[in-house]
Structures are given as structure tokens and as C-alpha cells.
Structure 1
Amino acid sequence: MSNRNFESDLRAQLDSLNKEKLPERDLWAGIEIALAEEAAPNQQAQKRRTNSTAPKVVAMAASFALVAVISWFSLNPSTQQMTQQDLVSALSSQHQMQKNALLVKFQDQPALTENWQKQLAELDEAAEAIKAALKHDENNMALLKMLQNVHQQQIDLIERVHSPKWRQI
């Protein structure tokens, strides 16, 4: 079949088609339901987005408070310098407040795994071991960073168990 015949045959077949094809049923009801369902997940996604920003705001506020406390002690010459143990206790109390806030926030939501509290307890034990090591070696910045890392792992664990990323839009 030549290219010219093909095009003319195709044109003839297209011209012979019925120009007005009506649907077999009323489609507006289905369109209306689909639009309503599309609006509902958008509202839920907006609510989830505002809920997922709360831990971030708490973390930012706690970090700002820690920086303010450290700055106050370092810039105020009339008070004693903040010792490493003071810094460790400030970090620990800040972390405990942040962890408690998350646990209260997620107390009504079901957890995705059963053993997350055991994992949280193991991370607590690791933090206590690091604190004990810091008592013997106060100027060890690697231990201090490890403590911060363990604290962050606890926060991440609580968030992941209660609101995984695959549920967020």
C-alpha cells in the first residue's frame, strides 16, 4: 500500500465515523464524586503538613534555647563558665523535653512496629553510657557529638514509627 493510498483510505475511514458519540449513561455523577474525593485528600494532606511541622518547630525552638543558654554563659563574665557537664545536662534536658512532646503528640496514633519502645530504651542506654564516658573525659567532642547523634536517632525513631514518610504527601 502506498503512502498516498494509506492517507486517503485513512481520511475516508475517519470521515465515515459517526461524528456524535453519546455516552451510555450520565457521567456528571461520577465526575462530581471524583472531584469531591480529590478535595478531601487535599484537605487531609494540608492537615498532615501542619501536624508534621510541629516537631520541627519544637526542635528548632529547643535548639535556639540551647544556643541562647550557651551564649549567655559564655558572654556573661560575672558567672562561672559553663562546664562540659553543664552542657551535657542542658542537652539531655532539652532532648527529654523534645522527646516527651513527640510522645504526647503521637500517643493516640498507632505505632507501625511493636518493638519501637525497646529500641528507644536501647538508645537511652547508649546515651547513658556516653554520658558516663563524658564524666571521665570531659573535653571529648567526639563523645558529645555521639550523644547528640543518639538523641537525634531517638527523635527520628519516634517520628518514623508514628508518621512514616510514605504516608505524607
Structure 2
Amino acid sequence: MNNAEFEKKLVEQIKGINKEKQPERELWTGIELAISRDDLSQEKQSANDGRKTFLAVAAVALVSLLGWFSMSPQLVLLTGDDLVASLSQQHELQKNELLVKLQNQTALTENWQDQLAELDDAADAIKKALQNDPNNMALLKMLQSVHQQQISLIERVHSPKWSHI
């Protein structure tokens, strides 16, 4: 086949081609899928941007809160003699409120005030020991225990008989 014949056949075949060629399969589903993927990736990106913004705001708020607390004079931790004085003062207030509340009830025993005085003496001895070692956790726990024993004694002595089994 020579060059002239080849060109003649090529021109005939080109003229025979249908100008409106239809695709062999449906293309719109693929196009829609590609568009929806782009939309999803944009939504994911905007969601990630929202999370990043939230984390940044939370970090700034945390730093601000920590700064505010560090400058606040109310958050002073009590240690040593100040702690012992504060514990004793709180206990005395609680004990006095309880005694006033229960003053009209009759006590179940006669010697409860002697027991209360003994516990007061024990608390005083612990406070003297804390003067030499004000941050001794064992002594502080003992003081709290004595204070709690006093409160429990007052409550038990003034509780009605029918509540005991």
C-alpha cells in the first residue's frame, strides 16, 4: 500500500465516523463522585480548622486561668504554725456550733465532758509537739484525728437512744 492509497482510505474512514460519538459507559456518576469527594475534603479541612481554632482558644484560656490563679492572693497554702492555728480555729467553730445545736438534748452519759477535756489535753500536747516540728504530717494527722474524735463523741453522746441498735 502506497502513501496515496493510505491517505485515501484514511479520509474515507474519517468521513464515515459518526460526529456524535456516545461514551461506552455513564460518565456522570464518576463526575458526581469526584465533586462530592472535593466537597468532603473541603468539609474535613474546615472541621480540622475548627478543631485547631478550638484547641488554640482552649490553650489561651488555660494559660490565662493559670496566670490569674498564680496572681490571686487567696490561694496561699498554709504551712507550719499557720496551718495548726487554722485547723484549731476551724475545729473550735465546728465543735461550738455542734454544742449549741445539741444543747437542748440530754446526754446519754454523765462523764462525756471529762472525755472531751481529755481529748482537748491530747490536742494541746500535739500542738506543743507541732511547735518544734510544724510540718510533721504524722502530728498533723493525729491532731485531725483528735478533733474528729471530739466531734464524734459529742454526736454520739447526744444521739437518741432509739437510733442505737
TM-score bracket, normalised by the shorter chain, equals 0.5 to 0.7
Tell me which of 129, 137, 141 is aligned to 1:141. Answer: 137
How much identity, in percent, do the aligned residues show? Answer: 68
1:86 is matched with 82
Aligned-residue offset at 1:139: 1.9
Aligned-residue offset at 1:78: 5.9
1:126 is matched with 122
Alignment of 1:152 onto 2:151: no
Q: TM-score scaled by structure 2?
A: 0.52
Distance 1:115-1:145 versus aligned 2 partners, 3 A rule: same
Alignment of 1:112 onto 2:108: yes
Distance 1:154-1:164 versus aligned 2 partners, 3 A rule: farther
Q: Which runs of 5+ in 1 are unaligned?
A: 1-73
2:91 is matched with 95
Distance 1:126-1:78 versus aligned 2 partners, 3 A rule: same
Report the Cα distance in structure 1 between the residues aligned to 2:142 and 2:98, rounded to whole angstroms.
Answer: 21
Distance 1:127-1:164 versus aligned 2 partners, 3 A rule: farther
Structure 1 residue ranges, 4+ long, deviating more than 2 angstroms after superposition: 74-83
Residue type matched to 2:130 in 1? L
Aligned-residue offset at 1:137: 1.0
Tell me if the contact between 2:81 and 2:134 (Cα under 8 Å) persists in the aligned partners: yes
Aligned-residue offset at 1:84: 1.2
Residue type matched to 2:112 in 1? W
Deviations 1:73-108 (A, max 9, x none): x95576876331111111000000000011001111
Paired residues in the alignment total 96
Report the Cα distance in structure 2 between the residues aligned to 1:123 and 1:94, rounded to whole angstroms.
Answer: 16
Report the Cα distance in structure 2 between the residues aligned to 1:75 and 1:107, rounded to whole angstroms.
Answer: 44
Aligned-residue offset at 1:153: 0.1
- What SS class does the counterpart of residue 82 from structure 1 fall into? coil
Report the Cα distance in structure 1 between the residues aligned to 2:154 and 2:70, rounded to whole angstroms.
Answer: 36
Q: TM-score scaled by structure 1?
A: 0.51
Distance 1:114-1:146 versus aligned 2 partners, 3 A rule: same
Tell me if the contact between 2:112 and 2:157 (Cα under 8 Å) persists in the aligned partners: yes
